[in-house]
């Protein structure tokens, strides 16, 4: 029977407590637009390497960014991956400053073989985050009130993926079928002082999404020597007109002025194209880079086209292991670093025009090998820690400038199947 490890249990409890301590994913006012902030889909090592994954091929972690990667695992191995993040943020408009702390449980996935040339992955991952609260006191003649804007929610994806090795462990293809679900909520409150002649106003819009999502991937591995190889990868996600319901509510004082449920308006996901490459020296080096392009400019939102800009994301990173066979844990650790750049898909309507922002990020991280109670020296379970700095630079100086410091904790349990183990 399978032995349940103390390390596994303790690690899951750590992630759970991190989630309870900080329960929101973001406080960015830019999440007021579109579907909110698009989540980083990379796991474990890729997160500390700039968020790469399209060209990464390793049998020691789940890589949902490219479903073709699943066949890289050993046919006797089961992988369980769970992650959470904590984020410290700073916002400024040039005059005012604000700091926040937030974070949450982020994703959970598992991967397992179903044939020597086929493997599957199942998981729950975020697609987007919405979270903000800001406001101001307003005076118009003799009328004074407080106006606040509040947003919450986001979209999540449950996926099942299959990968097939179609040529000599060199060429693999894969696909994820995901179920996209969730609700984003945006609320505007206008509150008048007690005794004022004005009626308080509440405007609320909810977007509820329930639909399928498809992702396709390919990886080609070209061996350079017995220990070195180059991997080329590509991914594609087709555009989709989402099954979405839009709720629009207006309340003035105690009177419900409007409550509309709209299913006819169009909400789209864009075409997504990505390519990536990596060079790997077994148990020593990994160097990789990704480029991803999303055609948001063609997507409709609230039946309107042209509300978004096409999005480009470029990332690169590396991993180094000093000596995987050393007794010294610091020599067996995986040291990682990376950087990324992207532009926003959302824009802000101002009197000067429509403006977005650029995002720059740099990250470092560590992969710490752990034993989960088994006697095998082949145990490959890892605690992954990444530290990331992100700068959000708006295109207009009067817009809000954001800075983030993110800590991501990922626990990858990589264990052998079909082994008879004792129970403590």
- Determine the Cα–Cα distance for residues 324 and 322; give it in Å rounded to an integer: 7
**Residue 15, pLDDT above cutoff 70:** no
CB-neighbour burial class of residue 22 (10 A; exposed 0-12, middle 13-18, buried 19+): middle
Residue 219's DSSP bridge partners are 172, 233
Q: What is the percent of the chain with per-residue pLDDT over 70, rounded to a whole number?
A: 90
Determine whether domain 6-130+152-177+212-240+266-416 maps to CATH 2.40.70.10.
no
- The alpha carbon dihedral of 206, 17, 103, 311 has a sign of negative
For 149-196, the pLDDT digits (tens) are: 999 999 999 999 999 999 988 999 999 999 999 999 999 999 988 877
Lowest mean pLDDT among 140-144, 256-260, 267-271, 352-356: 140-144
pLDDT greater at residue 169 or residue 5? 169
Rounded CA Rg of the chain: 23
Confidence label for 375 from pLDDT (cuts 50, 70 and 90):
very low
Residues 6+ apart with CB under 8 A from 142: none
Q: Is the pLDDT of residue 250 over 80?
A: yes
Q: What is the pLDDT of residues 251-264, one digit of tens each?
A: 998 899 999 999 99
| Tokens matching residue 144 | 């004074």
The tens digit of pLDDT for each residue in 304-324 reads 998 899 999 999 999 999 998
Domain range annotation of the chain: 6-130+152-177+212-240+266-416
* Closest C-alpha among 39, 30, 33 to residue 93: 30
Distance CA 67, CA 354 (A): 36
Q: How confident is the model at residue 359 (pLDDT cuts 50, 70, 90)?
A: very high
């Amino acid at each position: 029977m399978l032995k349940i490890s103390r390390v596994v249990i303790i690690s899951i409890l750590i992630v759970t407590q991190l989630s309870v301590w900080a329960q929101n994913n973001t406080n960015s006012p830019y999440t007021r637009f579109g579907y909110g902030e698009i989540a980083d889909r990379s796991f474990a090592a890729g997160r500390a390497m700039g968020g790469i994954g399209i060209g990464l091929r390793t049998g020691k972690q789940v890589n949902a960014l490219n479903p073709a990667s699943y066949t890289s695992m050993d046919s006797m191995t089961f992988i369980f991956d769970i992650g959470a993040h904590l984020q410290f943020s700073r916002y400024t408009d040039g005059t005012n400053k604000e700091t926040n702390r937030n974070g949450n449980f982020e994703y959970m996935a598992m991967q397992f073989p179903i044939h020597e040339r086929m493997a599957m992955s199942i998981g729950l991952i975020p697609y987007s985050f919405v979270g903000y609260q800001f406001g101001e006191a307003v005076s118009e003649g003799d009328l004074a009130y407080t106006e606040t804007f509040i947003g919450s929610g986001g979209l999540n994806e449950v996926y099942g993926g299959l990968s097939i090795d179609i040529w000599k462990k060199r060429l693999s293809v894969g696909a994820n079928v995901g179920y996209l679900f969730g609700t984003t909520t945006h609320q505007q409150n206008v509150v008048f002082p007690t005794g004022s002649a004005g009626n308080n106003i509440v405007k609320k819009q909810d977007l509820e999404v329930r639909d399928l999502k498809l992702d396709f991937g390919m990886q080609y591995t070209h061996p350079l020597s017995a220990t070195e190889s180059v991997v080329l990868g590509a991914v594609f996600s087709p555009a989709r007109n989402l099954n979405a319901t839009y709720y629009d509510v207006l309340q003035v004082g105690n009177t419900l002025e409007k409550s509309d449920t709209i299913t006819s308006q169009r909400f789209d996901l864009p075409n997504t194209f990505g390519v990536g490459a990596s060079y790997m020296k077994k148990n020593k080096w990994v160097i990789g880079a990704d480029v991803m392009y999303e055609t948001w400019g063609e997507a409709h939102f609230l039946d309107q086209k042209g509300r978004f800009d096409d999005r480009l994301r470029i990332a690169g990173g590396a991993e180094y292991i000093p000596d995987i066979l050393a007794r010294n844990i610091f020599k067996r650790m995986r040291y990682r670093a990376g950087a990324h750049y992207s532009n926003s898909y959302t824009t802000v309507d101002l009197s000067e025009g429509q403006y977005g922002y650029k995002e720059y990020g740099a990250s470092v991280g560590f992969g710490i090998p752990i034993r989960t109670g088994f006697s095998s020296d082949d145990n490959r379970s890892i605690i992954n820690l990444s530290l990331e700095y992100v700068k959000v630079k708006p295109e207009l100086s009067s817009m809000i400038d954001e800075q983030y410091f993110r800590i991501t904790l990922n626990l990858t349990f990589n264990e052998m199947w079909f082994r008879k183990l004792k129970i403590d």
